[in-house]
């Protein structure tokens, strides 16, 4: 191997977070989900599931942030940088768990253009990758910050509800902050009128907390 190719290989490992075996397996799993989506689009001529690729990209952002911080802990010594990055990470974190709700699309398959088992594999693989990205990212950030799990999962559940039912995304915090804030305040002021929302948020808070805790304990049990 030439010196140039050696440095190029090391560069791609740093940029695309392929430093560890876990990173490489996770990246391969995400690529598999994206390939399933591309294959479905090419096979059916219908771009319905192209959003899965975008959702996986958004889910990768918080993991990319936490992964990068873990590799460069010195930058955490700068107070402004430390808190600014945490806020950005927190805003994107719900995207990791949001993909769970894409399972709703299993019964919205546009005239059954592909086998149900294929769509299930596509959606479930993407949801599983999103879960892993979220759990791993929280674990990494937990080593750099004090992160109480239940409140974090409650914020994730709120983010899932806002994204799935109110149809906001992470960018609306910048592009449409007033309307987003108004809708959240309305939910807080009128909890009985928005009981459906709070029921969903409460249920998903518990579910995500269990998922995180079990995967954390499982990783220790397998070591």
Query: pLDDT 10s digit of each residue in the chain, 223 long?
Result: 455 554 555 555 555 456 788 888 999 999 999 999 999 999 988 888 899 999 999 999 999 999 888 877 676 677 788 889 999 999 999 999 999 999 988 877 555 678 889 999 999 999 999 999 999 999 999 988 989 999 999 999 999 999 999 999 888 988 999 999 999 999 999 999 999 999 999 999 999 999 999 999 888 777 6
pTM: 0.88
SS3 for 223? coil
Cβ(65)–Cβ(145) below 8 Å = no
Question: For the chain, which residues make up each domain, given as ranges?
Answer: 16-145, 148-223
C-alpha closest to that of 44 among 100, 122, 129: 122
């Amino acid at each position: 191997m030439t010196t140039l190719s050696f440095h190029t290989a090391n560069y791609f490992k740093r940029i695309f977070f392929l430093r560890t075996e876990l990173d490489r397996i996770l990246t391969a799993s995400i690529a598999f989900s994206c390939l399933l989506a591309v294959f479905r689009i090419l096979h059916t001529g219908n771009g319905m599931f192209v959003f899965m690729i975008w959702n996986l990209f958004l889910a990768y952002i918080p993991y990319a942030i936490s992964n990068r911080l873990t590799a460069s802990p010195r930058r955490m010594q700068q107070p402004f940088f430390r808190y600014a990055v945490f806020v950005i990470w927190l805003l994107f974190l719900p995207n990791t768990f949001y993909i769970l709700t894409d399972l709703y699309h299993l019964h919205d398959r546009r005239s059954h253009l592909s086998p149900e088992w294929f769509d299930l594999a596509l959606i479930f693989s993407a949801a599983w990758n999103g879960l892993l990205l979220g759990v791993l990212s929280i674990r990494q950030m937990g080593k750099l910050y004090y992160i109480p799990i239940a409140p974090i999962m409650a914020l994730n559940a709120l983010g899932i509800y806002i994204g799935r039912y109110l149809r906001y995304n992470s960018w609306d915090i910048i592009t449409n902050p007033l309307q987003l804030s108004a809708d959240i305040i309305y939910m807080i002021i009128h909890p009985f009128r928005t009981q459906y929302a709070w029921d969903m948020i409460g249920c998903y808070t518990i579910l995500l907390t269990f998922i995180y805790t079990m995967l954390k304990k499982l990783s220790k049990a397998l070591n």
